[in-house]
Structures are given as structure tokens and as C-alpha cells.
Amino acid sequence: MKAGRADLKEVGIGEGISEVIVTTRSASGKPNAAPIGIITTVNEEQGEIKHFIKLYKGSQTLSNVRETNTLAANVTDDAVLFVKAAFENLNETYFSAFEGMPVLTEAQSWIVFTSVLAEESSEYFLFRVTPKAVEINRKEVMTINRGLNAVIEATILATRLNITKNEQEKEEIKKMSERYAEMVKKCGGRRENEAMEILQKKCSFR
């Protein structure tokens, strides 16, 4: 369906930063998936809602967005999918098509955005993104699971581990990741624990 102002709340995108899996395609049509935060700002006085994404230089997501000016946000609470999207190239069995874009078949909802460059720095590109189409696959009422949140935070930290060359920062990341792993054991379910196991093996936290 067409995307409107109220639609994104219905599919899980709210004010602040919403962690999703962004899927893109290259100009030749090859799909890619990566966890990205959708940044949403609200100006109550002007009644204006804006959405942005920050993409770091050297990423496949950035390359694809610059080629096609389009991306899809996949809203999901699947912890394993977040970790795999961050550290593996998902094969085509994970994907379906929506509005000409690759999307993750198992996601709760999809939002296709068009993009316009808003800012460029030495490290990243900031794009303003505009919703073009929305699809809700499953409407589910979810409580806050600290185990899932811990997996997401640990995944974000792990991506930094692969970038930083500062040994002190690497040690701090590993210590924080150990704390998140303990939280997953305490609060997470089977899927969250499986995701943390994969993440620890991928990043040699053990």
C-alpha cells in the first residue's frame, strides 16, 4: 500500500532510532542486507516528520543506495536474522520481492524508501529517506525483551570492533559484549541465545 504519515508507526518505525534490517540491491540486481538504524525526527510545531539513515563509507549498503536511490526497511524481532545480516551475505532464499526491491520474507513489515543525500562527512553519508510503499505481513503485540535488546546492542558493538584500530577500545567493546551476553542468558529465549552464540563465534569474543 502507499505510505502515509501514520503508516510507519503502524509498522514499527517511531521517533528516535528504530533498528531494522535494510535491504538494497545493486544496479545489476544483486540483493544485500544489513542492520541499520532509521532515524526519525518529529517537529510538532510544523507537523513534520523526517526520516534519515546514516551509511558509512565502504559499505555495500551505501554503494547500492548511491546506485539506485532506494532501500527497504525490514522490521523484525528475529535476533538471529540481525546477527546473520550483520556478518554474513544472506543467500537468495531469505529474500522476496516488494515494489521492485528485495525484502526479507520473514520480516513483520516492509517499508520501501526513496533517498536523497542530505550530508556527507569524511566517514559517512546521511540520506533523507521518504517512504514510498508499506506492507504489513504480521501485526504482533510484543513486550520489551531485554535479551533481544542486548543482542542488538552487542551486534552494533561488534561492527565497531571490525572497524576500530584502537586496542583499548577493542578491549572495552569485548567487556561490554560479555555483559550483554550475560543479559541474554538471563533474559533471552532460545532464539536470542542462538543469536548470541553465533555473534560470539563470528567475533571471537570467547
Instruction: Say what the pLDDT of residue 25 is.
Output: 97
CATH of 7-136, one of 2.30.110.10, 2.40.128.110, 3.65.10.10, 3.90.420.10: 2.30.110.10
CATH for 146-203? 1.20.58.290
pLDDT for 161: 77
pLDDT (tens digit per residue) in 80-93: 999 999 999 999 99
Under the banding of pLDDT at 50, 70 and 90, the label for residue 169 is confident
Q: What is the mean pLDDT of residues 63-80?
A: 97
Please determine, for residue 64, whether its predicted confidence score (pLDDT) is greater than 90. Answer: yes
pLDDT 10s digits, 142-159: 777 899 999 999 999 888
**Are the CB atoms for 153 and 162 separated by under 8 Å?**
no
**Residue 167: C-alpha distances to residues 15, 81, 123 (Å):** 35, 29, 20
Q: Do domains 7-136 and 146-203 have the same CATH topology?
A: no
Domain ranges of the chain: 7-136, 146-203
DSSP 142-195: ----HHHHHHHHHHHHHHHHTT---HHHHHHHHHHHHHHHHHHHHH--HHHHHH
